[in-house]
Amino acid sequence: MSIHSVIVEGSEIIRQKAPDFVPKVGLILGSGLGGITDSMKNKVVIPYQDLPGFPVSAVMGHAGKLVLGTLGGVSVVCLSGRVHLYEGKSPDAIKIIIRMLKHLGCLTVILTNAAGSLRPEVTPGNVSLIYDHLNFMWTNPLIGPNDDEFGDRFPSLENAYDENLRIKMKAVARELDYPLTEGVYAAVMGPCFETAAEIRAYRTLGVDLVGMSTVPEVIVARHCGLKVLAISAITNMATGISKEPVAHDQVLIQADIAGKKLCRLIEIFLERNKHGLSE
């Protein structure tokens, strides 16, 4: 199936299951962060497998379901589980996911991920906003023919992580008395965790956070005009920063701890800004 047909057919199925529902915000949840959906109201749950051609992740901690409903009084469509390029997925999978959010009516996308910290003071269990990125995946999902229906051939990534949204999220964090740092996120292909030498190089380049997702989604989102807010759940210290070994099961444990903070932050952020996010 073509990207266009997957988007159109999937959108029709979603609208049949949730008539008159028009989401304004898309939420994409990273490893172990699916608990956000527990706070949603008036939920309609659609397994990815029910949407022909929709990409499905096989990674532990990614539920693989679309959840429609309200959070903080805002209509949202939540993707509980994302796909990763390291799974062997085509970049077209990223286009399908993000462009379907746009096709359904979303104006903003909030991306979450599990990330390693390169800053000793930013420890596991905390959260951090992303204000810029370095793409070490050595690929771009927009390679190939441009789809003019969604955006220009040469999109700008200036203010890719919307400054106004970040200011509002920081205000919510202060209100809740949650420590909320900001950092530059390095996206690596994975699935290996980084070497100590790589982490030293990234620190030299000004990197604060490292992970295996998010940047391809940001690129596609900005290409089609969606505003982006991205938040990392700090799940581990990067290799060489701490003596603790890095392992995926520990990532999931820390994602659960940080995820509780993340859920509260996002819910209150939506509640405080529901009118602006619907325009």
Catalytic residue among 9, 39, 87, 201: 87
Alpha helices in the chain (DSSP H): 3-17, 91-104, 163-176, 196-204, 215-223, 248-272
Per the annotation, the verdict on 128 as an active-site residue is no
Per the annotation, the verdict on 4 as an active-site residue is no
User: Which sequence spans correspond to the domains of the chain?
Assistant: 3-274
Per the annotation, the verdict on 103 as an active-site residue is no
DSSP state string for 92-118: HHHHHHHHHHHHHT-SEEEEEEEEEES
CA angle 113, 189, 165 (to 5 degrees): 35
Tell me 226's DSSP state: -
The reported pLDDT for the residue numbered 176 is 94
Catalytic residue among 131, 182, 201, 248: 248
Partners of 228 in the β-ladder: 109
Residue position matching structure tokens 């749950």: 45
Pull the structure tokens for residue 190.
Answer: 């994975």
pLDDT tens digit at each of 279 positions of the chain:
789 899 999 999 999 999 989 999 999 987 667 778 888 999 999 999 999 999 887 655 446 889 999 999 999 999 987 888 998 888 999 999 999 999 999 999 999 998 999 999 999 989 999 999 999 999 999 999 999 999 999 999 999 999 999 999 999 999 999 999 999 999 999 999 999 999 999 999 999 999 999 999 999 999 999 999 999 999 889 999 987 777 777 777 777 788 888 889 999 999 999 888 876
Q: Cβ distance 20 to 105 under 8 Å? A: no
Catalytic residue among 62, 117, 194, 221: 62
The reported pLDDT for the residue numbered 200 is 97
**Considering only CA atoms, which of 245, 247, 186 is closest in space to residue 213?**
186
Catalytic residue among 18, 40, 93, 114: 114
Per the annotation, the verdict on 87 as an active-site residue is yes
DSSP state string for 51-99: STT-----STT---EEEEEEETTEEEEEEES---GGGT--HHHHHHHHH
pTM exceeding the 0.75 threshold for the entire prediction: yes
Q: Which fold has domain 3-274?
A: Rossmann fold (3.40.50)
Per the annotation, the verdict on 230 as an active-site residue is no
120 cis-preceded (ω within 30 degrees of 0): no
Catalytic residue among 236, 237, 238, 273: 236
Catalytic residue among 31, 80, 113, 128: 31
Per the annotation, the verdict on 213 as an active-site residue is yes
Q: Cβ distance 211 to 114 under 8 Å? A: yes
Q: Are strands 108-117 and 209-211 parallel, antiparallel or unpaired?
A: antiparallel
Pull the structure tokens for residue 165.
Answer: 């949204």
Per the annotation, the verdict on 62 as an active-site residue is yes
Per the annotation, the verdict on 133 as an active-site residue is no
The reported pLDDT for the residue numbered 61 is 47
Per the annotation, the verdict on 236 as an active-site residue is yes
Angle between helices 163-176 and 248-272 (to 10 degrees): 100
**Residue 159: left if φ>0, alpha if ψ -120 to 50, beta else—which one?**
left
Q: Provide the b/e sequence for 91-127 (b: ≥16 CB within 10 Å).
A: bebbbbbbbbbbbbebbbbbbbbbbbbbbeebebbbb
Pull the structure tokens for residue 43.
Answer: 């939920």
Q: Cβ distance 25 to 227 under 8 Å? A: no
Catalytic residue among 75, 126, 213, 232: 213
CB atoms within 10 A of CB 182: 15
Catalytic residue among 115, 186, 187, 212: 212
Catalytic residue among 9, 11, 39, 86: 86
